[in-house]
Structure 1
Amino acid sequence: MNQEVNEYLNGLKKWQDELTKLREIILDCGLKEDFKWMHPCYTSNGKNIVLIHEFKDYCAILFHKGVLLKDSENILIQQAENTQSARQIRFTDTPEITEQKLIIKQYIEEAIAIEKLGLKVKKKKTSDFEMPKELEQKFTENPKFEKAFKSLTEGRQIGYLLYFNKPKQSKTKILRIEKNTQRIMDGYGLNDCVCGLSKRKPNCDGSHKQLEEAE
C-alpha cells in the first residue's frame, strides 16, 4: 500500500471509514495504488482508472473516463458542468458502499477494459461553446485581457464560457466578466485555488487546508 495514501487517510477528520472501504474494494480489483492531485489514485499499466476523494456532504469514487461507461445502474454523476470525461459514484456512509460493492467492482472492471481497448473521450473544444457578445466586447476594449483568456487551458476557458453564458440578462453577464477579469489576467480558472500557498499554481495542491486548520 502507498504510504502517502496511508497518511492521507489517517489525516482525514471525515469520510475516513468510507474511503478506506473504497480503497479496499479498488485494490481487490488488481489496480496499482498511487497518490496524485493530493488524492489516492489507482492505475492499470500506468493509465489512470479511478480516484477517491472527499467533499463536505459526500465522498466519491471518480472514473477518469466515466463518460464511456455503460452506467447500467444509472448512478454516475457529472461533478461539474464543464466536466467532459470524468464521472463519480457518490456515497454518504460505509453501509451504502458495502451494499454496492459488486456494482462498484463491475464498473471498475469495465473502466479497466475501456483503457485496455485504448478508447478515447472525444472532448468538445472551446470553439464548440458560445462566446457571449459581452465577452467579445471586453476583448475589443482590452486586447491584453483577450490574450490572457486565450492563454488559459481549454478546460478553464470552457468553464468561464459556461459561467458567463448562464445568466439571461446581459448586465449580469457583464458583472460576472468584470468580477473575474483580474482572476483571468492572473492565469486562474474559475475554480482554481487562489490562497497563494499552492506550489502548483494555478492548480490547487491542498495548501489552503492550512488556513482552515488555523481558523
Structure 2
Amino acid sequence: MEENKSWTRNQKWLEEIELLKSIIVKTDLVETTKWGGIVYTWNNRNIIGIGGFKDYFTIWFFNGVFLPDEKNVLVNAGEGVTKGLRQWRFTSKKEVNEKLVLHYVNQAIENEKNGLSIKPEKKEIQPSDFFLSKLQEDKHLEEKFNTFSPFKQKEFIEYIDTAKQEKTKHDRFEKIKPMLLANIGLNDKYRK
C-alpha cells in the first residue's frame, strides 16, 4: 500500500501509524484504503480506521458507540454530528498499550459479528402544502401518484417543491400530470 494514502496531514506520525498497523495485523481485520485513508474491515464491513492529524494520531471505531469504554479513552469527535463513530487519540507512542488496543479492536469485531451497528436513517420527504393540495384536487391523480414507489414519489415531490416561484410550481405540476396518469416516472426516460 502506498504510504501517502493515509489521513496523515504531514510526515509527523509515520512511526506511530506503523506501530498501530503492527498491532492491528494481529487481528482478523483486513487493511484497505477508503476515502484516501487506512481502513480495516471484517467481512467487508468497516470496523476501524487509523490516521495522523496535526496534534494527534488516532484509531477511530466506526461503531464505537457500542464499545464498553472501561478505560474512558474514546471521544466523540463530532458531538451532535456523528452517532456511532468514536476516536481514540494518542500524542505519543508511549501512550499506545498493545494489549488494550487489541482488546478494544477485538471487541469492535465482536460487536460487528453480533450485528451492533448504527443503520443510516432513511429521511422521509414531506410534500409541500402546494403539492398535497394539487393532488387532492383530483382523487384519480392522487391514486396514480400513490402507486409509484417511494423513490419515484420523492423525485416528483422534489421536482415541484424545489421551484422557487409559485408560477414555476404550477407549470411543473401541469407537466407531471400526464406522466402520473400514464404511470411514467419523472426520470424514467433516462433509465434503462
2:13 corresponds in structure 1 to: 15
1:107 corresponds in structure 2 to: 104
Q: CA deviation at 1:30?
A: 2.5
> Contact (CA 8 Å) 2:39, 2:46: kept in 1 or not?
yes
Q: Deviations over 1:15-40 (max 9, x none)?
A: 10111101111111121110001111
1:52 corresponds in structure 2 to: 50
Aligned CA RMSD, in angstroms, stands at 2.5
Distance 1:69 1:33, change over 3 A: same
SS at match of 1:8: coil
Matches within 5 A, 1:191-202: none
Q: CA deviation at 1:8?
A: 3.2
Q: How many residues align?
A: 126
Question: For residues 50 and 62 of structure 1, what CA distance do their matches in structure 2 show?
Answer: 5
Question: For residues 125 and 47 of structure 1, what CA distance do their matches in structure 2 show?
Answer: 20
Structure 1 residue 41 corresponds to structure 2 residue 39: yes
Structure 1 segments unaligned to the other structure (5+ residues): 128-142, 146-215
Distance 1:33 1:122, change over 3 A: closer
Structure 1 residue 95 corresponds to structure 2 residue 94: yes
Structure 1 residue 68 corresponds to structure 2 residue 43: no
One-letter amino acid of the structure 2 residue matched with residue 87 of structure 1: R
Over the matched positions of the two proteins, sequence identity in percent amounts to 37
One-letter amino acid of the structure 1 residue matched with residue 13 of structure 2: W
Whose Rg is larger? 2
Question: For residues 144 and 78 of structure 1, what CA distance do their matches in structure 2 show?
Answer: 38
> Contact (CA 8 Å) 2:51, 2:58: kept in 1 or not?
yes
Question: For residues 144 and 66 of structure 1, what CA distance do their matches in structure 2 show?
Answer: 41
Q: CA deviation at 1:11?
A: 9.2
> Contact (CA 8 Å) 1:41, 1:51: kept in 2 or not?
yes
One-letter amino acid of the structure 1 residue matched with residue 29 of structure 2: L
Question: For residues 78 and 9 of structure 2, what CA distance do their matches in structure 1 show?
Answer: 26
Q: CA deviation at 1:105?
A: 0.5
> Contact (CA 8 Å) 2:10, 2:54: kept in 1 or not?
no
Q: Which moved more, 1:116-125 or 1:75-84?
A: 116-125
Structure 2 segments unaligned to the other structure (5+ residues): 125-161, 165-192
> Going by fraction, where is helix more abundant, 1 or 2?
1
SS at match of 2:75: coil
1:29 corresponds in structure 2 to: 27
Distance 1:118 1:13, change over 3 A: same
